[in-house]
Amino acid sequence: MSVHERKQREQAERERLIVATARELAEQQGWDAVTTRRLAERIEYSQPVLYSHFRGKREIIGAVALDGAAELAAAARAAASAESDPRARVTALALAYLDFAEQHPAVYDAIFQLDGGLAFAQEDTPEPLKDAFAALLETLGEVAGEGVEPGLFTELFWASLHGIATLTRAGRLPREFAEQRVDLLVERLAVV
């Protein structure tokens, strides 16, 4: 039995290696550079090995997305917990979110932009994704305002952040005045 267990351990180990390498490659050179050949070469196995762990490239992206979602949730909670005033918390959360998107564009894309074959906003949504939303909800729910469903408010606030993040990164929004935009967003949307 222990042989079998060792093999399983090695299997899991290699799976982590694949995901970590894919992420690294994506962050260094963008997702376009993450080809199955290059990925295989980096992990020092042949291409077909990838397919014994994942159904295809899409599932690898999905795996990176799940990892990233957990980190995003942690970053959001860390930023929020550093502030006591509700409004300051929201600002900190927003800045942390945008910072994550800026610092880890490839991971952000894996989560929100690319097709990782993941289900969103459904019962079978993977836990890390649900939890990332929950992390936002914890802080944003407090400033939804009376008569406004916290979930709906969180969705809206999140969508706004997502729009800012993606448009900025794609060069559609000037980086100038980024902070003013966030301030204005918080000032108007958040009800104290």
Partner DNA sequence: CTCGGTTGTCTAGCAGTGCTAGACTCCGAC
Partner DNA sequence: GTCGGAGTCTAGCACTGCTAGACAACCGAG
Among 43-51, 74-82, 100-108, 156-164, the segment contacting its own copies (CB under 8 A): 156-164
Q: Which residue has the tokens 């958040």?
A: 190
The amino acid sitting at 78 is A
Burial class from Cβ neighbours inside 10 Å (0-12, 13-18, 19+) for residue 134 reads middle
Binding mask 11-50 for DNA (x = CB under 7 A): x----------------------xxxxx------xxxxx-
Could you say whether residue 163 binds its own copies (CB under 8 A)?
A: yes
Residue 103 found at the interface with DNA (CB under 7 A): no
Pick from 12, 33, 88, 152 the residue near its own copies by CB under 8 A. 152
Does 153 bind its own copies (CB under 8 A)? Our answer is yes
- For DNA, give the closer residue by CB, 58 or 169: 58
Should residue 131 be labelled a site residue for its own copies when binding is judged by CB under 8 A? no
Q: How far is the CB of 9 from its own copies (least distance, A)?
A: 35
Q: How many CB atoms neighbour CB 15 within 10 A?
A: 16
DSSP code per residue over 21-35: HHHHHHHHH-GGG--
Single-letter amino acid, residue 100: F
Continuous H helices in the chain = 2-29, 36-43, 47-53, 57-81, 86-103, 105-112, 127-140, 150-169, 178-189
Among 78, 88, 167, 192, the residue binding its own copies under the rule CB under 8 A is 167
Quick one: which of 111, 27, 30 has its CA closest to 64? 111
What are 176's two structure tokens? 């100038």
Under rule CB under 7 A, residue 64 binds DNA:
no
Residues lying near its own copies in the complex (CB under 8 A) are found at: 112-113, 119-121, 148, 152-153, 155-156, 158-164, 166-167, 170-174, 177, 180-181, 184-185, 188-189, 191
Residues lying near DNA in the complex (CB under 7 A) are found at: 3-4, 7, 11, 34-38, 45-49, 51-52, 55-58
